[in-house]
Structure formats: C-alpha cells, structure tokens
Amino acid sequence: MFTGPEIETVFAELGITHVVWIPDTAIGPWEAALAGSSRLRLVRVCREGEAWPLAAGLHLGGQTPLVVMQTTGLFESGDALRNVLFDLKLPIYSLIGVRNWLVPQSRDTAKTFAEPILSAWGLNCQWIADPADKPKLAEHYRRCRAAGIPGVALMAEGAP
C-alpha cells in the first residue's frame, strides 16, 4: 500500500513524533524509512500490550505517538487498549494491518474478527483498502485529532 518513504512523509507531516510498533510482513518494509527518519522516532516493543501504555506515557509527556501493529497484536493487547483509550481517555491513534483482508478466499480468523472487535470497542475506524484510499489516512487522523478522540486506520493486507 504505502512505501516506507511515503508513510514516513505522511506521519511526519501529521506531526507524529513517535511510532510505537511491532511490524508484520506488510508493515515491516517501512522500518528503514521510519528508523532512519530525522522527523520522528521509531520505538520497538516486545509485545503489543506494551505499545498502548508506552504511547500513553509519550502523550502525557507532551509528544504525539502513533501505535502500529497487526490485527493479531490488536487482539493480544485488548486490555491495554481498553485501559488507555477508555479508562485514561487518551486520544491515541493507531494503524492496524489487517492480515489477509485482500485475499477473498482466506478464512484467516485474524481477518474475520478485525471489524467486529473494533466495532465492539466503539472505535472510530477508517479503512485503507485500496491505493486510492491512501489520502484517507491523513484525513481521518486529522478529524480524530480535531475531535480529541482515538481513531484506528485499518490497512488492508494480502497474505503474509
């Protein structure tokens, strides 16, 4: 969907200061551009459950973090997400790669449960399912920032 330099530019132009992530095969190729960026900092966590409170600390410290992970990590980190977005009420934005979304015959349950889980949380979501959708990421991020609410960009992925 996005190349590394493309996504680094999008994130930097949005004013994101830290990308807190665990990559997957679709997001992983962004690493060189993000790690080499002079405009933002890449923070690697060992488990997705760390990403949400780490982003919370960055936010409370005056920075503008973004959480990036795959659907599997979203499921794993549900309680941390719940705490940060709903108990602490922090407007953390995230980009979630949805594994196998672009593979119609796939019966991957990571694909099946992505939308229902986010719907259950009541989170404001934006699909990035096609290259033509790329501008929607920045538009949705800005809308969520302006409203002071968390938001999720769901990035459709192919097979891992």
Q: Which residues bind other proteins (CB under 8 A)?
A: 18, 20, 41, 43-47, 49-63, 65, 79-80, 82-84, 87-88
Q: Which is nearer to other proteins, 36 or 61 (CB)?
A: 61
**Tokens (6 digits) for 14:** 């949005």
Q: Which is nearer to other proteins, 30 or 101 (CB)?
A: 30
Answer yes or no: are the C-beta atoms of 52 and 28 closer than 8 Å. no
Closest approach, Cβ 87 to other proteins, in A, equals: 5
Closest approach, Cβ 80 to other proteins, in A, equals: 5
Closest approach, Cβ 8 to other proteins, in A, equals: 19
DSSP readout, 91-159? Answer: --EEEEEETTTT-TT---HHHHTHHHHHHHHT-EEEEE-SGGGHHHHHHHHHHHHHHT--EEEEEE---
Q: Which is nearer to other proteins, 72 or 126 (CB)?
A: 72
67 SS3 class: strand
